[in-house]
Amino acid sequence: MTVEARVVLGTVTDRPLDLAAHEAAVADRRAGAVVSFQGVVRDHDHGRAVTRLEYEGHPSAEAVLREVAAEIAADPAVHAVAVSHRVGPLEIGDVALAAAVSTAHRAAAFAACARLVDEVKARLPIWKRQVFDDGTEEWVNCP
């Protein structure tokens, strides 16, 4: 019996992200592996102290996120995919990106989760404004 993978969660939100909820969302009786990732706001970038971030998203961001998730879910080894990205102001330690993938075996789960995160980072139209401790700021990944 062949069951297609499913995208169980694909959201862009201004609400805090819960990695455990993403892991639970991809739970599947066929899965022997669930691999997850959380991108956390750190206090530095390229040797400069960061005090906070703000993410701005294009109106198409959620559609792009779901498209990327569907592409990963199309892999026959993948059972389920969950991924979310925050927008708005974030503090140090906040989760900006949460992702989880389930597969039958760990190698496939690690590979699929890595592809998911890499594709989200490459294609998602969300831009980051970093504020540094000296009061300066910069936009990252902004066209």
Inter-residue contact 39 to 68 (CB < 8 Å): no
Whole-number pLDDT of residue 1: 43
- Ranges of residues in the chain with a pLDDT under 70 are 1-5, 143
Q: Strands 126-132 and 88-91, how do they pair?
A: unpaired
Q: Strands 48-57 and 44-45, how do they pair?
A: antiparallel
Query: In the beta sheet, which residues pair with residue 122?
Result: none
Whole-number pLDDT of residue 3: 56
Predicted TM-score (pTM) above 0.85? yes
CA distance 117 to 126: 14
CA distance 132 to 143: 21
